[in-house]
Amino acid sequence: MSYDSEALERREKEIHEENEKHLAGFEKWLKDKGVSQKTINTHVANVEFYINAYLCYYDDIYDAKQGARQIYGFLGNWFIRKAAWSSCAHIKTNAAGIKKFYAYLLEENVVGQEDYDDLCCTIKEYMPDWLDEMKRYDEMIFEDYF
């Protein structure tokens, strides 16, 4: 199979356009639920980073629907290493926002109940491991710096 960078760029552009629609709907959904604007801004920014940066980072790009099954690699590894602002608090905040985003996509029939349940179970089961990994990463960076 040959590598087609133009096809990959077209696919990524299509995904980003679709993601903009999802993000706009998500923002409205949060507003309708009475969430504060500050929290809305945080959740939308975190979800945007997940669906537009992480899910489209490698050659195997995923749309938001497929992203429900990609959370482990994001919060357990990629976010810790790639996001300069990563911290235990940010892992928790990202998990909360991404969970809400997929609840919205479930209501919109973009993802199925099984994908949503899998996302929630993965977050619940692996959150302690992700936080431990973040702490180890911070210690490694601190030791290397000094």
pLDDT reading at 1 higher than 50: no
Q: How far apart are CA 5 and CA 103, in angstroms?
A: 33
Q: Residues 15, 21, 24, 26: is their CA dihedral positive or negative?
A: negative
What total of structural domains would you count in the chain? 1
Give the pLDDT band (50/70/90) at residue 59.
low
Which pLDDT score is estimated for 9? 86
Contact in structure between 122 and 72 (CB atoms under 8 Å): yes
Domain that holds residue 138: 5-145
pLDDT digits (tens, 9 = 90+) for 63-122: 999 999 999 999 999 999 999 999 999 999 999 999 999 999 999 999 999 999 999 999
Confidence of residue 6 (pLDDT cuts 50, 70, 90): confident
Put simply, whether the predicted model's pTM sits higher than 0.85 gets the answer: yes
Residue 22 has pLDDT above 80, yes or no: yes
pLDDT at 57 over 90: no
d(C-alpha 61, C-alpha 93), whole Å:
24
CA dist., res. 143 & res. 146, Å (int): 5
* pLDDT surpassing 90 at residue 7: no
Alpha helices in the chain (DSSP H): 5-32, 37-48, 64-67, 71-73, 79-82, 88-107, 113-145
Nearest alpha-carbon partner for 129 in 83, 73, 85, 54: 73
